């Protein structure tokens, strides 16, 4: 059982500070979200499987989307893209030349794999991580060398460094990692990036950057500013609730950014760009999303602690839980109990990645898990009786 009291202190402190102005928002009108949605499908399970923002876009972003319909007949994407790049550069302390924009950060991952394949490079990647870049690298006929996790199911930077070869041209690290939710020790990661980027591009996927509460966490963007061969990806899909509109970007050296953008197959859509531009300016909604996520996570971790169920410390909007039950059995059982949970992540098939829903929905998972695991334990321990 996780006994990391510091983590809980961060979550509870965050919930207290950020949540004070949002008391009662769920019940009625919320100036950030508008009026609550009325469910039209009572029997639909709660979505806790795709690491989505359960609140969707903010009212500010939605207003920008509605306004963007008036320019949907125009080829104005290039101007909106330039505006988005300028804003991302300003927010992150770099120049627009350091920014490459893609259809979500997923396209940045694929284009990095494409670049590596064109260079006939080898990719180093953890054995348990987000798989998009690995799958696409294989379509490019690249050798993908998977590095085993350490004893804490963390990314093993020492072992990764030991496996680099002359063929290695790309190293992929997800921080916080997906599906574990864990972060790497910052000083070690920084040292790794400085050293290994002399030999290869180090790709640090920071899709969940905004959710991190750990006081010692640092983005690797500072190393980009220093000129290191680092590629950092970010996305508007998570905190901003724009997963369906597909807006992501990379922060990297101007040379890598230019090359990545040369591989992009088409322009982004104007609705997504306008929504992202508005949402990145809407700090109040970002704070709200983070606060609600921390409240939901505290409900889950408190319950897991009471039940003695192991889980990994999470700095994201999901948590990796050791249910002790094969995920291929746990998944359909939880669906019958009103919750969609995450897919299998072999070889950790007795673990479940659970995305955070709204705080008021998390008890549905707690009750369903108790029923499913309780029935499972009774079934396993009960002796066979002759009849």
Q: Nearest CA to 134 among 116, 149, 113?
A: 113
pLDDT digits (tens, 9 = 90+) for 227-270: 999 999 999 999 999 999 999 999 999 999 999 999 987 778 99
Facing residues of 249 across strands?
101, 234
Position 386 scores a pLDDT of 30
Secondary structure element (H or E) that encloses residue 303, with its range: helix 283-307
Regions of the chain where pLDDT drops below 70: 1-31, 35-42, 375-387
| CA 241/CA 243 separation, integer angstroms | 6
Residue recorded with tokens 């609730």 = 241
Position 381 scores a pLDDT of 37
Position 212 scores a pLDDT of 98
| CA 131/CA 122 separation, integer angstroms | 16
pTM of this structure: 0.88
Q: Judge contact between 20 and 14, C-beta under 8 A.
A: no
Position 43 scores a pLDDT of 76
pLDDT digits (tens, 9 = 90+) for 164-186: 999 999 999 999 999 999 999 99
Facing residues of 187 across strands?
none
Position 27 scores a pLDDT of 44
Q: Judge contact between 198 and 169, C-beta under 8 A.
A: no
Residues 6+ apart with CB under 8 A from 71: 270
């Amino acid at each position: 059982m996780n006994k990391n009291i510091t983590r809980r202190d961060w979550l509870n402190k965050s919930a207290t500070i950020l949540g004070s102005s949002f008391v009662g928002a769920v019940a009625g009108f919320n100036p950030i979200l508008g009026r609550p949605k009325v469910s039209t499908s009572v029997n639909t399970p709660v979505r806790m499987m795709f690491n989505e923002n359960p609140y969707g876009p903010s009212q500010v972003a939605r207003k920008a989307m509605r306004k963007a319909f008036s320019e949907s007949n125009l080829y104005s994407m290039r101007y909106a893209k330039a505006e988005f790049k300028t804003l991302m550069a300003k927010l992150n302390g770099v120049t627009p030349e350091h920014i490459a924009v893609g259809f979500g950060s997923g396209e940045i991952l694929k284009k990095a794999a494409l670049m590596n394949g064109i260079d006939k490079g080898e990719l180093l990647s953890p054995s348990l991580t987000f798989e998009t870049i690995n799958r696409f690298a294989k379509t490019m006929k690249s050798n993908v060398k998977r590095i085993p996790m350490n004893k804490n199911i963390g990314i093993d930077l020492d072992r990764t460094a030991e496996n680099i070869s002359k063929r290695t041209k790309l190293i992929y690290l997800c921080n916080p990692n997906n599906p574990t939710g864990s972060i790497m020790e910052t000083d070690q990661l920084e040292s790794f990036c400085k050293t290994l980027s002399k030999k290869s591009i180090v790709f640090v996927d920071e899709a969940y950057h905004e959710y991190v509460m750990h006081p010692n966490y640092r983005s690797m963007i500072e190393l980009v500013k220093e000129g290191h061969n680092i590629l950092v990806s970010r996305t508007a899909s998570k905190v901003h609730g724009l997963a369906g509109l597909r807006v992501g970007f990379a922060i990297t050296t101007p040379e890598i950014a230019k090359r990545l953008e040369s591989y992009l197959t088409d322009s982004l859509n104007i609705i997504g760009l306008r929504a992202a531009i508005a949402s990145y300016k809407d700090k109040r909604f970002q704070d709200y999303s983070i606060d609600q996520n921390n409240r939901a996570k505290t409900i889950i971790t408190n319950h897991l602690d009471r039940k003695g169920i192991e889980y990994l410390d999470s700095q994201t909007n999901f948590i990796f839980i050791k249910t002790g039950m094969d995920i291929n059995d746990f998944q359909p059982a939880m669906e019958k109990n009103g919750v969609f949970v995450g897919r299998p992540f072999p070889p950790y098939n007795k673990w479940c990645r659970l995305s955070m829903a709204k705080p008021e929905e998390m008890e549905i998972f707690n009750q369903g898990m108790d029923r499913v695991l309780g029935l499972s334990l009774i079934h396993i321990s009960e002796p066979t009786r002759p009849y």
